[in-house]
Structure 1
Amino acid sequence: MGNELNRELAAIREHVREAVPAEVAGPLVADVERKKDVDPAKFAKVGDVLPDFALPGARGERVSLADLTAEGPAVLVFYRGGWCPYCNLTLRTYQQEVLPGLAASGARLAAISPELPDGSLSTVESNELAFDVLSDVGNVVARSLGITFRPESDVQGAMATLVGDIGARNGTGDWELPHPAVLVAGRDRVIRFVDVHPDYTTRTTPEQILAAVADAR
């Protein structure tokens, strides 16, 4: 399962290299290479306690960390936005291969991005997702975990050419984004698993998530 996810993500990466004009693809490819050297020291770590939060869901409801951990571990999936093809593929894979395995443990899955709720709703509908998709407008939660960054100006230009103004989609005018990440927190809100991907063309596998949830029960 997990190998298949990363094979499909690699296929998207190769498509970008081959199909997108060089002046657009070049900065994106260089950015992926730079991201491989990001220092993980600032990222949240296993053993950290997550403060409670409450974020708006795709249909206007507010969902708190306390809600997510009420009956079992919480699986928090941070993604860049519904404009990101790597994110959409990953969320669909988690829908198919992670969500069914969570019911027995009482674990709850939530995907979180800085997009406004309207963007979250589009992500839910286009990917037919049955789990919580939440809006961390201003990256308040993601920043508290040390997983945010701002793309370089040339990368912003390339991204804008492909998907438009991400700052506007986020409702803040700011291009701050989270590195894709998965955290698993127990009912005590202690982080039991964290996997951050500065190289956004790779992601946490379903097997890793399900194993982390089993350990967190």
Structure 2
Amino acid sequence: MKQKQTFTDTIAAQVAEFRPTFDAQIGPALAEVFALEQEELRRAGIPKGIARVGDTLPEALVYDDRGRPVPLREVLGAAAAIIVFYRGGWCPYCSIALQTYQRELSPLAETFGTRLIAISPQDPGIAGDMAHEKGLFLPLYSDASNALASRLGIVTTPGPEATLARIALGVDVAGSNMGRTPRLPFPTVVVADATGTIRFIDVQVDYTNRTETSDIIDALVAL
């Protein structure tokens, strides 16, 4: 089963429409800082040692919306899973992606009997409040100090200039994260089968880019 998707539905198209307005709102100085950050991330490329297709999802604790630790295997149960790693509710590109996945993937995941969850390093209360503001009802879990993301090899540390630029916008990344760490996961989508074996993993080093729903659906159908 595959949804027909036009270019205007893609996350890339939504980002292309959103970005000029966002850059105008934050001003040219901050926009240049973030553009340089994105260029550096693209130049560095995908890090070595990331999880690969065929690997088993690592054992890890994640935290539910009440801050209770739950083993990842218990969250997923005996079902295939789509796991979306996002940076935090403060990231507008994450919001675009999550809203798209909620709209386009949630019904399919239910049809396939597949778990669809999103994971960030944010404190559960902060993540939940931001999700509520944006109308998100996807199951959200928190990865304290990026423990799970680190085991998958998908963690990065923003540079000082970008960190200060976000603080200027009122975003305290470290202060909102569990463990008070400034580190963030690369936006990543993992599709795992019912045994916990990774069948698809897509890591986006430039956080303005995201895995398109059509690629996730293809991976789901291939299970």
Aligned with residue 114 of structure 2, among 102, 107, 113: 107
Aligned with residue 101 of structure 2, among 94, 100, 107: 94
CA distance in 2, matches of 1:83, 1:184: 25
Residues 49-88 of structure 1 mapped to structure 2, 5 A cutoff: 49-88=56-95
The unaligned stretches of length 5 or more in structure 1 are none
Query: C-alpha root-mean-square deviation of aligned residues, in Å?
Result: 1.8
CA distance in 2, matches of 1:15, 1:197: 23
Alpha carbons of structure 1 residues 68 and 212: separation in structure 2 relative to 1, 3 Å = farther
Q: CA deviation at 1:187?
A: 1.1
Aligned with residue 168 of structure 1, among 175, 178, 181: 175
Residues 87-166 of structure 1 mapped to structure 2, 5 A cutoff: 87-166=94-173
What amino acid maps onto 1:13 in structure 2?
Answer: R
The yes-or-no answer on 1:20 pairing with 2:30 is no
Q: Verify the 8 A CA contact 1:57 1:120 in the aligned structure 2.
A: no
CA distance in 1, matches of 2:74, 2:222: 20
Q: Verify the 8 A CA contact 1:192 1:212 in the aligned structure 2.
A: yes
Moved more, 116-125 or 188-197: 116-125
Q: Verify the 8 A CA contact 2:67 2:125 in the aligned structure 1.
A: no
Q: Verify the 8 A CA contact 1:102 1:210 in the aligned structure 2.
A: no
The yes-or-no answer on 1:199 pairing with 2:209 is no
Percent identity reads 33
Q: Verify the 8 A CA contact 1:58 1:124 in the aligned structure 2.
A: no
Aligned with residue 8 of structure 1, among 10, 14, 25: 14
Q: CA deviation at 1:68?
A: 4.0
Aligned with residue 32 of structure 1, among 15, 32, 38: 38
SS of 2:87 mapped into structure 1: coil
Alpha carbons of structure 1 residues 74 and 178: separation in structure 2 relative to 1, 3 Å = same
Q: Verify the 8 A CA contact 1:2 1:207 in the aligned structure 2.
A: no
CA distance in 2, matches of 1:171, 1:60: 10
CA distance in 1, matches of 2:57, 2:79: 15
Query: How many residues get paired?
Result: 216
Q: CA deviation at 1:123?
A: 3.3
1:124-160 deviations in whole A, cap 9, x for unaligned? Answer: 3123333310011200001111111111111111111
1:98-141 deviations in whole A, cap 9, x for unaligned? Answer: 01001122110110000001122113312333331001120000
Q: Verify the 8 A CA contact 2:143 2:178 in the aligned structure 1.
A: no
The unaligned stretches of length 5 or more in structure 2 are none
SS of 1:109 mapped into structure 2: strand
Q: Verify the 8 A CA contact 1:72 1:105 in the aligned structure 2.
A: no
Structure 1 moving runs of 4+ over 6 Å: none
TM-score with structure 1 length normalisation?
A: 0.92
SS of 1:210 mapped into structure 2: helix
SS of 2:180 mapped into structure 1: coil
Moved more, 190-199 or 43-52: 43-52
TM-score with structure 2 length normalisation?
A: 0.89
